[in-house]
Chain A
Amino acid sequence: MIRTIVLHAAVIAGLFLLEPVLSDYHHGNLARIMVLATYAVGYNMLFGYTGLLSLGHAMFFAAGMYGCAMLIRLAEWSVGPAFLAGVLCALVAGIIVGTLALRTIGVGFMIVTLMFAEAAYLVILYYNEFTRGDEGFTIPQAVRSIAGIDLSDTTNRYFAALLLFAIALIACAAIVQARTGRVLVAIRENEDRVRMLGFDPFRYKLFALVISATMAGAAGAAYAVLFGYAGATFASVQYSIFPLLWVLLGGPGTTLGPLLGTVLMFYLVDYASGTIMPGLAALVETQFGIEAPGLASAYLLLVGVTLVLLVLFAPKGLLGTVRARMIPWLP
């Protein structure tokens, strides 16, 4: 228990202390990564701990994003209340979708969440008069402040993202350490047994889904406020798959896996698309005299190969493997 608290405190303190040290480039990246990692922490609550694979989490991210951004844009709310309203939207969406979708299990759950998310995406396009559809809209820099703190400022943005991530991480760690968390894991391992022990799995699953949706929504609202943009792309199926990949890479069912996975996937894509693959293409060109423009853009190939290697050699994700082989107490 103590070492769990120390570990999480150390991670948060580490992110805090990194702020003045990081170069502008990594500083900006990490601010964004912490927002996305909040999304992943939420996803992990449902997928990693409860064993429910959703393919529709982008709708919760988008519920938070649009709930917040539309109130700022159309009703001229200030950032604070709009952010909370966005989170509330995601929470309500979680309750509605959860009540319906949790009637299904396994692949059925994947499909139903996927279809609800698709409907949500189309709703954003259909009401384009208010949402500006796929193109989305910006939130002017001037209104992006809270209690006089300018959230578009680099340092403020970093600490705002850190605060958001820290709250999500602590909430996650607290839940999984508590009895609720153990019931969730038990549901993942064997739902029938949990039912026989007198628990109502549906209530626990709904709880996990709503928490998960709320965190996703908070991340979406934060993205809109911190980076000044809301668009339907964030509701598309691709953005439901991203947190799945981040969590799988970092380690499903570990509290810190989502952060690690988001960091690694970000830099894998960044270096592969900016450095590795163009370098490889240039090498092919100079060595063999073959122009290979296609190769320069082939970073998804690396992502694909990474996933296959991961599942073959570290099927529990990185931190899951660390826990299995080295540090059994890792939360």
Chain B
Amino acid sequence: MADSKHTAGQTRRTILGGAALLGTAAGAGLLPGLGRYAQAQTSAPIKIGFQVHRTGIGAAYGRWYDRTTKAAAKLINDNGGINGRPVEIIAEDDGTDPKRGAEVIEKFATKHECDVAFGTLFSHVVIGSAPRAGELKLPYFVVSEGHHVASGMLNRYTLQPGITDVKSQVQSMAPWVADNLGKKVTMVYPDFAFGHDHRDYFSEAIERQGGNVIAKIAIPPRETSFFKYLPKIPKDTEVLYHVMVGPGVLTFVKELGEYFGDNRPEIFGFIDSLEAVDIASPGLEFLEGSHFWEGYPRYAGENQSEHDKFYRAAVGVDDNGASLSDSKDISTYAHMFGCWETLHILKAGMEAADYKGPKDRQALIEAIENMDVFPESQAHPQGSKLFNGRTHQAFGHQHISKVEGGKLVPVHKTSIFDTYYEDEVDYTKMSF
């Protein structure tokens, strides 16, 4: 069944190619039946396999990735789809698990016959899935913010054009932290690869600013109480840098508050700690006056752009970053825009490559590798970005916000060049 369809497709393309050489009119006249078939084929949807954390530890992110993706697909379809064809999102749960992630990729390629795969946040799922995407020659667009793509660990079929990676996020924070908060830093992070990325890249970056990390406290997984580690924070710490994930983060902040009382160092954190969490939650009062990295400011401030306004409304997020239908349902605003932007890049790439079907997957990847600038627009509401086709990674502005009155208020926006680093790989030299 699948085979016969394949052959028909190939024949059609060969014949149409020949027909184009002879002249379209003559071709259509000679082969009326095939002409009709081609017409029917071109209006078939472009299938995008969407790998999503619906269950498991990533479910809070997955729900918002899902909503953002649906909104972006609707917008693209309302504006005429891609190459005149509608987009169909085929979502499958990866269970936040690398084995299931790889299975889902296989399912997209062989069962759903998707044109491309896209989605997912947690790095271990991406790294577990990417080898299969490469072997199946299925373009795989990840929205993970991991450094795995640009580090060269993956393959030519895996790209991260819609979100910046942790290395560039972390290193671009160091100048501001050193100038405004202090130079002696203690880091608290989960004993996961994600935490180690923070540890390594921030340590390097702060040393370039003349500062240093005086203590590194790695928290074991699934820890539900953090207090016993807090006395390991040296007394002369000027800045406490925290990045935690998982359900225990509120406890962490509360215990920090109990530990330090009013006499605390400066605190700088990554919003990953509090994505999908209300900053005004009981217990988080202690964060008042502290600073956060934000990929994309959660609260619509005075300087809100028209693109942000449009994007917020389309996804269904209010000015405080919560769902329009439930003010207690907080979005993962600093990350989920990556789904929106990735789908728009996919559209641009498919249009540039004149994408017709799986045969054009290489052309699609080459088209995207050739892109270099994504200007701020409806398609890129977070802001303009540079794309490095060699490393398959996007670079963009990062934001620092201060907690004031239980809200996050942007205080600094980095330049894109603060986030740049030397290439570690050149995927364009790898074969397909």
A interface residues, Cβ below 8 angstroms from B: 23-25, 27-29, 32, 122, 125-126, 128, 132-139, 141, 152, 227-229, 231-234, 238, 269-270, 273-274, 278, 293, 296-297, 299-300
Contacts and interface: CB of A to CB of B under 8 A. Distances in A.
Nearest to B93: A273
A274 B131 contact: no
Interface string B124-145: 1001101110110000000000
Given A24-B2, A125-B221, A273-B93, A134 B193 contact: yes
Contacts of B127: 135-138, 229, 231
B375 interface: no
B221 A270 contact: no
Interface stretch (B22-30, B79-87, B96-104): B96-104
Contacts of B134: 141
A298 B103 CA distance: 18
A122 B127 CA distance: 20
Interface residues of B, number: 42
A227 B102 contact: yes
Contacts of A297: 54-55, 59, 93
Given A135-B146, A136-B128, A274-B92, 10 more contacts: A25-B106, A125-B220, A126-B191, A128-B193, A135-B127, A138-B127, A141-B131, A228-B131, A273-B93, A297-B93
B192 A133 contact: yes
Instruction: Tell which of A126, A296, A297 has the most Cβ of chain B within 10 Å.
Output: A297
B131 A135 contact: no
Contacts of A29: 103, 106
B8 to A, nearest CB: 17
Contacts of B192: 125, 133-135
Contact of B103 (A134, A138, A238, A270): A270
Contacts of B128: 136, 229, 231, 233
A43 B52 CA distance: 31
10 contacts: A24-B110, A29-B106, A136-B128, A141-B155, A152-B135, A227-B102, A228-B131, A228-B132, A234-B98, A296-B54
Contacts of B66: 293
Contacts of A278: 91
A227 B106 CA distance: 11
B153 interface: yes
Contacts of A141: 131, 134-135, 155
A133 B110 contact: no
A141 B54 CA distance: 30
Interface string B181-216: 000000000011110100000000000000000000
Instruction: Tell which of A25, A27, A134, A238 has the most Cβ of chain B within 10 Å.
Output: A134
A243 to B, nearest CB: 13
B111 interface: yes
Contacts of A25: 106-107, 110-111
Interface in B354-382: none
B291 to A, nearest CB: 27
Nearest to B62: A297
Contact of B98 (A126, A233, A273): A233
A297 B123 CA distance: 21
Contacts of B221: 122, 125, 134
B226 to A, nearest CB: 17
Question: Which 5 A-B pairs give the minimum distances between C-beta atoms?
Answer: A135-B193, A228-B131, A297-B54, A24-B110, A25-B110
Nearest to A233: B98
B193 A133 contact: yes
Contacts of B146: 135
A122 B124 CA distance: 16
Interface in B111-125: 111, 123-124
A122 B218 CA distance: 12
Contact of B93 (A128, A138, A227, A299): A299
B131 A293 contact: no
B89 to A, nearest CB: 12
B104 to A, nearest CB: 9
B234 to A, nearest CB: 23
A293 B59 CA distance: 12
A229 B55 contact: no
A296 B54 CA distance: 9
B147 to A, nearest CB: 10
A32 B102 CA distance: 10
Contact of A138 (B63, B95, B131, B194): B131
A46 B249 CA distance: 40
B131 A32 contact: no
Contacts of A135: 123-124, 127, 146, 148, 192-194
A274 B107 contact: yes
A114 B200 CA distance: 32
Contacts of A152: 131, 135
B154 interface: yes
A126 B196 CA distance: 11
B220 A28 contact: no
B303 to A, nearest CB: 33
Given A135-B193, A136-B98, A297-B93, A233 B107 contact: no
B191 to A, nearest CB: 5
Given A125-B221, A141-B134, A227-B132, A234 B99 contact: yes
Nearest to A297: B54
A134 B102 CA distance: 16
Nearest to B1: A23
Contacts of A233: 97-99, 124, 128
A273 B100 CA distance: 11
Contacts of B135: 141, 152, 228
Contacts of B191: 125-126, 128, 133
A229 B154 CA distance: 11
Given A133-B196, A233-B98, A300 B131 contact: no
Contacts of A139: 131
Nearest to B59: A297
Nearest to B90: A274
Nearest to A229: B128
A26 to B, nearest CB: 8
B83 to A, nearest CB: 26
B98 A229 contact: yes
B319 to A, nearest CB: 23
A13 to B, nearest CB: 25
Contacts of B124: 134-136, 231-233
Contacts of B97: 233, 238
A295 to B, nearest CB: 11
A60 to B, nearest CB: 16
A300 B55 contact: yes
A135 B166 CA distance: 14
A126 B155 CA distance: 27
